[in-house]
Amino acid sequence: MSTCSDIHHCRTMVGIISSCITTIFACTWVAIHPNIPAPYETSLEITVRRMRVTVMALIAPELVIVWAMRQWVVAGQIAKKYKDRKWTRTHGFFVQMGGFVLVDDKGKLVRILDLDELEKLDDNEFPQITEAEIQDKSKRDALSKAVIMVQTAWFILQCIARLFEHLPITEIEVVTLAFTVLNLLTYTLWWSKPADVRFPHCVRKNRGPKIASSREETREDDEGENEGDNVSKGENNGLDGEGTGSKGEEAGLRGEGASSNGDHEVRLEEFGPKKGGDDDQRDDGFLDAIDRIFSEMRHWWIEEIWTGVEGQSPFLIIFALPLIAILRIIELFSAMLGYGEGIAKDAKRVPTFYAGDLTGSEITQLFLISSFIATVFGAIHCLAWHVQVPSPTQLLLWRVSSLTITILPVLEVFAYKSPDSFLLLLAILLALLGAIAYIVARITLLVLAFKSLRSIPPGAYETVVWTTFIPHI
């Protein structure tokens, strides 16, 4: 009899773990709506960036809400600005994602068309694309998003039912519950945003008469550049895909002809090895992707950190290196808040967490709303305040970590609203220390949630009897 009970418990344990992990995966990896990658980036680079964002979402999921809210607000402003052109919030999201790019006469990508660049285009040059055409680029439709929202809502309903039935909820279920609440908000904000778009809508600027009259001079300049590219291509043993040799002329973006309003719609078709492509189709593209990934890591985590301590004494270096490394980590998370996420000149893609510019009042409103959401997110973890754990130390760590992520957003609000300069300096110090404490507390909660699976209380194996919630005679 005990053997059957153990088998039943084991199957229930598997069900609890699989349900929580699947839901957390849907709330992090699946919920992310990334911006459009650069044309030279391979699927490996895109996956690595997606994994980095997912890890950040696991540690600070409320910052994903801030990112989504920033994009939602700016997308609404763009839609309102171009209402006469029948633009919707989807168009606004598409602009933020780097969905419109400018190409030259040969179909080569020049730069991202941000909001400022779009304002400079006249009626004939302005890109003509409908909401349906933009959503056609999305890898997820409304039905798939609705299914994910129903799945997360079902998990929330199960947890509420267990509370009504006075059945215990495990720590991992409490962590998952907090993720699901934020996931519903994320999908609501990003409902109109296309997901996993790989290629942008490329347009060619319509050339005026003055520019057309000097076409011969432009052609001469282009020929001079082509000769330089060919020389560079020869020095690189044919590895540079940006040249204009027999194969280089067909590389990059190709024109598909001109539309009636002067726009030239093009599509990404072929790339030189340096420009990337599919990993499984180009061995050199895969190696180039690996080189770019390690170059970025070396730049961020070795060169930048070493620059901060170069020339200092060995004693100072020992203590300064960990601090600078921590500040670099905090800088990654601060990008979700919009710090340092501007579009560089002649950029081929927008930054990972780009959302556009907000006014001072809008930033304040989003800060207060996100702080409230972060407080609710932390308070959900306090539902396991009296959870049954084998060790008092483990329970103490859970309570301290839960209080930390609940109280810190409130303290940040008081520090942010303080006009005093001394308190402002104190707020900056609190923000740095609070960010470190918050990251440590979040990691602690995740570790404790999985560690608690070794000793689940017996009541956690009991399932909810749903018939008691259905009115009957």
Percent of the chain having pLDDT more than 70?
67
Which residue type sits at 114?
D
Q: How far apart are CA 387 and CA 448, in angstroms?
A: 12
Tens-digit pLDDT profile for residues 133-190:
999 999 888 888 888 888 888 889 888 888 888 888 889 999 999 999 998 999 999 9
Q: Are 26 and 240 in contact (CB under 8 A)?
A: no
Is 172 in the same domain as 51? yes
Is 32 in the same domain as 151? yes
Q: Are 205 and 259 in contact (CB under 8 A)?
A: no
Looking at residue 377, what is its pLDDT?
93
Is 101 in the same domain as 153? yes
Residue-wise over 283-301: b if at least 16 C-beta within 10 A, else e? eebbebbeebeeeeeeeee
Is 332 in the same domain as 413? no
Is 64 in the same domain as 150? yes
Final residue belonging to a domain, choices 312, 337, 362: 337
Is 333 in the same domain as 361? no
Q: Are 236 and 180 in contact (CB under 8 A)?
A: no
The CB-side HSE value for 146 (13 A sphere, CA atoms) comes to: 3
Is 361 in the same domain as 301? no
The CA distances from residue 71 to 34, 135, 161, 194, 243, in Å, are 12, 17, 35, 12, 37
Q: How far apart are CA 111 and CA 103, in angstroms?
A: 7
Radius of gyration of the chain (CA): 26
Q: Is residue 92 part of a domain?
A: yes
Least confident of 36-40, 264-268, 343-347, 446-450: 264-268
Query: What are the phi and psi torsion angles at 257 (to 5°)?
Result: 105, 170
Is 25 in the same domain as 139? yes
The first and second tokens of residue 356, run together, are: 């556009």
DSSP assignment of 248-291, as one string?
A: GGGSEEEEEEE-TTS-EEEEEEE--GGG---TTT-HHHHHHHHH
Looking at residue 274, what is its pLDDT?
40
Report CA dihedral (130, 131, 134, 137) to the nearest 10 degrees: -120
pLDDT band, residue 381 (cuts 50/70/90): very high
Q: Are 301 and 283 in contact (CB under 8 A)?
A: no
> Considering the entire predicted model, what is its pTM?
0.73
Query: What are the phi and psi torsion angles at 279 (to 5°)?
Result: -65, -40
Q: Is residue 80 part of a domain?
A: yes
Q: Is residue 103 part of a domain?
A: yes
Q: In this model, does residue 397 exceed pLDDT 60?
A: yes
Residue 170 burial class via C-beta count within 10 angstroms: exposed 0-12, middle 13-18, buried 19 and up: buried
Q: In this model, does residue 123 exceed pLDDT 60?
A: yes
Final residue belonging to a domain, choices 337, 371, 404: 337
Q: In this model, does residue 290 exceed pLDDT 90?
A: no
Tens-digit pLDDT profile for residues 269-282:
433 334 444 444 44
Looking at residue 115, what is its pLDDT?
82
Least confident of 29-43, 226-240, 397-411, 432-446: 226-240
The CA distances from residue 463 to 4, 58, 347, in Å, are 17, 28, 54
Percent of the chain having pLDDT more than 90?
19
Is 42 in the same domain as 126? yes
What is the average pLDDT value for the chain, to the nearest integer?
75
Q: How far apart are CA 306 and CA 301, in angstroms?
A: 8
Final residue belonging to a domain, choices 304, 337, 370: 337
Q: In this model, does residue 132 exceed pLDDT 70?
A: yes
Q: Are 171 and 398 in contact (CB under 8 A)?
A: yes
Q: Is residue 299 part of a domain?
A: yes
Q: Is residue 2 part of a domain?
A: no
Q: Is residue 434 part of a domain?
A: yes
Strand partners of residue 111: 102
Q: Is residue 1 part of a domain?
A: no
Strand partners of residue 368: none
Q: How far apart are CA 379 and CA 21, in angstroms?
A: 21
Q: How far apart are CA 367 and CA 363, in angstroms?
A: 6
The whole domain housing 314 covers: 286-337
Looking at residue 213, what is its pLDDT?
34
Is 307 in the same domain as 410? no
Is 77 in the same domain as 201? yes
Is 140 in the same domain as 164? yes
Whose CA is closest to 56, among 35, 29, 26? 29
Q: Is residue 78 part of a domain?
A: yes
Q: In this model, does residue 121 exceed pLDDT 90?
A: no
Q: How far apart are CA 255 and CA 266, in angstroms?
A: 5
What is the tally of structural domains in the chain?
Answer: 2
Looking at residue 90, what is its pLDDT?
94
Q: In this model, does residue 88 exceed pLDDT 90?
A: yes
